[in-house]
Amino acid sequence: MDYRIIITTVANESVAMYLADKLVELKAAGCIEYLPVRSVYKWNGVIEHQTEFQLIVKTADINLTREVLRKYHPYKIPMIMEIPVEYNGKFAHWLGS
């Protein structure tokens, strides 16, 4: 298995719920947490301060997760950060099943 944590952000809670549901429904993730965050970034030459929702996606199938995020992530240029991880045995077994 290729265990990863994926971190991405979306504009609001309803989009976070939609994307989380899609990822779990399509078996691209076993578990997702989402929470509000404040983001600061430059877009079209302007510094933006936005409230977004960050998703923490736990997956054992990174290729499927990437595919689902490419298809359903609403941002034109989404931030998708992949972090390789090792999970404890029982959780890893559950996540990979």
In terms of residues, how long is the chain? 97
Give 36-40's long-range contacts (Cβ < 8 A, gap of 24+).
37/9, 39/9
Q: Report the CATH fold assignment for 4-96.
A: Alpha-Beta Plaits (3.30.70)
pLDDT tens digits, one per residue of 6-16? 999 999 999 99
pLDDT tens digits, one per residue of 53-75? 999 999 999 999 999 999 999 99
Strand pairing class (46-59; 4-10): antiparallel
Cα dihedral value 70, 74, 79, 83, nearest 10:
-50
